[in-house]
Chain A
Amino acid sequence: MKDLAKDRMEKDPLGPRRMGRRRGCTFCADDAPPIDYKDPQSLRYFVSERGKIVPRRISGCCAKHQRAVQLAVKHSRNIALLPFTSND
């Protein structure tokens, strides 16, 4: 019998990575709040502790909403509501 786990290991040297279910885009839901650059608290989830924008792979946003989030974070940074970087 073919060892499925081993097969996967051969294809990807790092092995199966994602455990658990992938969640859909939070903003695609019907009752989703708007993406607002004036509310840094709502953008917090899309920014790392270092202040970097979280990639789509992790935030789970669809491409359209990731672009909107990206723009919102950048607007927010420009008006000093979110940090460009935090080094402490």
Chain B
Amino acid sequence: MSQTATTPRVREYETIYILRPDVTRDGQERVATRMSEVLGREKGQLTSIENWGRRPLAYPVKKKKRGVYVCLKYLGGGGLVSELERNLGVLDDVVKFQTIQLRDDVEAGTVSVNPEDVKFEAVDPPQPGEDEGERIEQILGFERSPERSRSDDDAYGDDAYADDDDAPHSMNPQAAAAAAAAAAATAAAKEPVAPAAPAAPVATETEK
């Protein structure tokens, strides 16, 4: 069955692009207007544009450690995405971009757009000296601080996980010893008549 052509069905996409950290306000505006031009040409509808500002990258991209993130949300078809990405690839200020499909089969025209959301706000270029900020590991708290306590490790919920992801079933010696001791304790509780419970149940095979 063919679909009736009364309400065109489109998809909702989200594109994030990263600009060079030293991009001027003008450069940011230029990229944003180019994006809206492409959207207009390909009959897409911009639903929001967000400038996240200058932030650290998790890894260097084109030898840059920071970048200006801009997030676009729009409605359109697949041809629009390839045209948009082609344009992003051409622009020199853009170092990286990624498009994600958010929703499939959206009725065009049913999505209301807040005019505030489609206004692009550029951020100021960096002042000399403020170039080096926090790195992503520090922001996420991945960096081990020297006074890191034992309870921090437990935050992940399992000791076996600590550092040896490749040998998941191996237990560290203390944990194994603790487990053995706990097992011995339960054994002692079960058999109160028996003489002093052996320290390690594995070692006492002659008990039978």
> A residues touching B (Cβ–Cβ < 8 Å)?
1, 3-6, 8-9, 14-17, 19, 23, 37-38, 40-41, 44, 48-52, 54-55, 57-58, 60, 75, 77-84, 86, 88
Contact = CB atoms under 8 A, between A and B. Distances in A.
The secondary structure that dominates the B interface is mixed
Given A4-B190, A5-B183, A38-B71, A17 B160 contact: yes
A44 B187 contact: no
Given A5-B183, A9-B183, A17-B179, 7 more contacts: A4-B190, A5-B201, A58-B161, A79-B16, A79-B98, A83-B59, A84-B59
B57 interface: yes
B142 A49 contact: yes
Interface of B: 16, 18, 57-59, 61, 67, 71, 96-98, 100, 136-137, 139-144, 156-158, 160-161, 165, 168-171, 176, 179-180, 182-184, 186-187, 190-191, 201-202, 207
Contacts of A57: 158, 168
Contact of B16 (A14, A38, A77, A82): A38
28 contacts: A4-B186, A9-B183, A14-B169, A14-B171, A15-B176, A15-B179, A16-B182, A17-B179, A40-B136, A41-B139, A44-B140, A44-B141, A48-B156, A48-B161, A49-B142, A51-B142, A52-B165, A54-B156, A57-B158, A57-B168, A79-B16, A79-B97, A80-B96, A83-B58, A83-B59, A83-B136, A84-B58, A86-B142
